[in-house]
Structure 1
Amino acid sequence: EKTFLSQKEGNYVREKTYIYDLKNRKVKYIKRKPGTDKVKIKFIKIPSIPFQDIVTATFYFRKYGIFEVGKETIFPIFAGGKFQNVSFKVVGKEKLSTPFGDIETFKVIPSNNLSPEGAFERKGKVIFWFTADKRHIPVKVIAEVKIGSVSAVLVSAKGKNFDLKKEYEKQRKKSLLEKVMSGELGGD
């Protein structure tokens, strides 16, 4: 298997190729600076099942992480031409206001070594919020990076037989109806 990454951010330009030999548990890592003859080649042994970047690491955590306040999930990642262990720690549970309404979430902070290169290189905290249901959908992330700060909020989530906005609207209506029926809302 082969992965190619072309990264262009201002003056930072790199092309990286990863050639995976899973049978022999090795990766050939080729880093080039376009327009020059500079090529760096490394052969790296795969210690266990690796993940290539912050995105795949986040989705691995979403599926297999320990979602309990105070708990930490640690696993290997292949980034920047090397393997390293990264961790995601659940630091709290909080209600977050989202385009879907107020959602109960887990607040999660990844270890400092989880960082891309270039303009989005991490320079401070990164915080994720995942839904507190069994799907653990990432609904928000904020990060302090080399060029400033970045914030991303999930605004749509649809799939086969799945529409997050409609789900939460249905839950809100049900909750409102329960409050009216119990006498919590409404007149005497």
Structure 2
Amino acid sequence: PMEIGKTEYISMFDSKKIFDAEINVLKKENISVPAGKFDTIVINPVLQTEGLFVRNGKMFIWLTDDERKIPVMFRSKVKIGSFVAKLAEEN
């Protein structure tokens, strides 16, 4: 289980490479997206890559606070601007 205030490492893919990313577990938050309301854990990946998600950008991901860890919202600043993605529906 992810613990608030802890750092974890997971494998990610960007710029045609797989690499280990440092994940800062920030806080728990209840959010509403088009797919519904979710209890989430907010994480901040620290990326060491030259691809779209550059190292000096900010990225936040809201994962369901359960065993599935479904990403329900994603917010990021990238080289070309910023964007937010929200889960539209859950099957």
In structure 1, the residue matched to 2:68 is: 135
Q: Which residue of 1 aligns with 2:86?
A: 153
Greater fraction strand: 2
Q: Deviations over 1:93-121 (max 9, x none)?
A: 011111233321000000132x562xx34
Structure 1 residues 82, 140: closer, same or farther in 2, change over 3 A?
closer
Q: 1:135 corresponds to which letter in structure 2?
A: R
Indicate the residue corresponding to 1:92 in structure 2.
27
Show CA shifts across 1:145-164 (max 9, x none).
01100211110121xxxxxx
Cα distance in 2, alignment partners of residues 74 and 155 from structure 1: 28
**Counterpart in 2 of 1:38?**
none
Q: What SS class does the counterpart of residue 124 from structure 1 fall into?
A: coil
3-state SS, counterpart of residue 108 of structure 1: strand
2:39 to 104, 119, 123: 104
**In 1, Cα distance between equivalents of 2:36 and 2:17:** 40
* RMSD of Structure 2 on Structure 1 (CA): 2.4
Give the whole-Å Cα distance in 2 for the aligned partners of 1:126 and 1:110.
6
TM-score (norm 2): 0.78
Distance 1:103 1:150, change over 3 A: same
Q: Secondary structure at the match of 1:92?
A: strand
| TM-score after normalising by structure 1 | 0.41
Q: Percent identity?
A: 32
